[in-house]
Structure 1
Amino acid sequence: MSDSGAAGPVAEAFQGQRERLHAVAYRMLGSHADAQDVVQEAWLRLSRQDAAAIGNLAGWLTTVVGRISLDVLRSRQARPEASYDDRLPELEGTAGGAAPEDDVALADSVGLALLVVLESLGPSERLAFVLHDLFGVPFDEIGQILGRSADAAKMLASRARRKVRASERPAASGREHREVVQAFLAAARLGDFEGLLRVLDPDVRLTVDTPGGLVVTLGATEVASSARMAAGAATRGGWVLVDGLPAVASWREDGSPLSVMSFTVVAGRVARISVVVDPVKLAAMNLPASG
């Protein structure tokens, strides 16, 4: 049963929580599709409950979404062939002509950079950190989800917080992000190998999401050697917003999207480039029909 056609106060209350629940699940799973599935499952579970007996609906739904998300994370961990380390956090694009200038317009509470850092956390650590630090859920409630004490949940969140701080260098502001990306694209167009090396982090990671799977290139020298791809995309495409930051999209002659390149900029250099060329995933992004 889909909640889209449901009516009544319970459905209305659920709809009021939907956006927040999706945000919780997305921060846990890094996938909008998986987050939608989790939220739908939460609705199905709510529809089988006596809603009048639920004292705190928001808390109850957060707990349910947390438990379902935790099960998904543990399932991923148990299946090495579907390891989360080999997945890309899903990109969500919005149309745009010139890239916005203001940091405020580009701000996102948790962007792609932090999602990448969260991949290094175990399921329990990730749940404790996301629910407490990002959504303010008390440790006693987190402990109930994990089947542990509040103190144990607090320790998990603290451990996760240390890992995040150790792994996460300050992300670029919106203006700096755009300037660094433009410098990368300009060097790529000119075939300026030294210029590319100056703007690339030595440990840069290029990931191309293709219909056949992910293709990963590591290191500034290797990525710089592949930079003609970026030059071609910039020539045929235009700016869009991906997860709140400027990215470059290109289109085919018939107006359908060909590729989207998003960038993570840290300390003035490109630390990660994510390219999506898989038509299925491109179709799921909110991109305009032409550049």
Structure 2
Amino acid sequence: MATEVAENGGDVQLTADERKVYDRQIRLWGYDAQKKLRTSKVLLIGLQGLGAEIAKNLILSGIHSITLKDHTDVSILDTCSQFLIGHDSQERNRAKASVVAAQKLNPNVVVTADTTPIDENDENFVKSFDVVIATECSPTIYEKLNKHCKQANVKLFIADVYGLFGYMFQDIGFNLSTYDTVFPNYRTSSSEIECKREIAYYLTSSLLMFYCFFKRKPNPETCEEDIDELKSIISSLEGASEIPDEYYSELFCQLSPATSIVGAMVAQTATNAIMGKSLKNYNLYFYDHINHQGKFEKY
């Protein structure tokens, strides 16, 4: 039986079974670090391929609980990378459809589903968690979550994957720019940016603006029209360089190679933050599939 989280800040000891399960991890980062993971409560928003990867890694690490939050139904696009949903699943909601397989990964972790849209929760909702990880949301939702998590002193990670390209933003209480300061340009069709930045930054900005304009991500069924729209958005960004066409051709669905890489990075960075080993000097990570490179940045 799994250890219960101690109330009122009391100490928590791992059971003999947990020590056995997490033996290799304890050897890697220590018993005290594993205890910190064991008491952490995580909210994960968005259960497409990226969310599945993040959930898998966090559950295997030995956190106390994870709430899988997604109000959408399973779609054909989930077959590209969402491995928690069985092909014979009769459950239509993505979060509920992911619970059984997720729970089997580690019986010591409490796995639950929440089907309420995040925009229907108030600012107090995040206070029930130690870490919030948000994917597949609109930029305005990300901005609100950043504000609410900062007020509640809750660690926040925002991430998304577009085809073979992906990014992560973290706000864990350090003196770095918040989400809407890093990406100020999704509110209007053009915006001045202080200095020359990476191609990945402008590509992420254009994808966020696309979501604001069309209330969706780029879609394989309308790929040609969507690419034209993205190119137009890029051209409106002050300081943006021309982005090679090869980037645009692989921005559709969430493909397994990218979800594996970005998902692992999100989970690793989140577990490090829980254990008090945060990567303090960076708030952005980009995975550039054209250059086969993952890179942290500070904005």
Normalising by the smaller structure, the TM-score range is under 0.3
TM-score (norm 1): 0.25
Question: Which of the pair has more CA radius of gyration?
Answer: 1
Write 1 or 2 for the structure with the bigger share of helix. Answer: 1
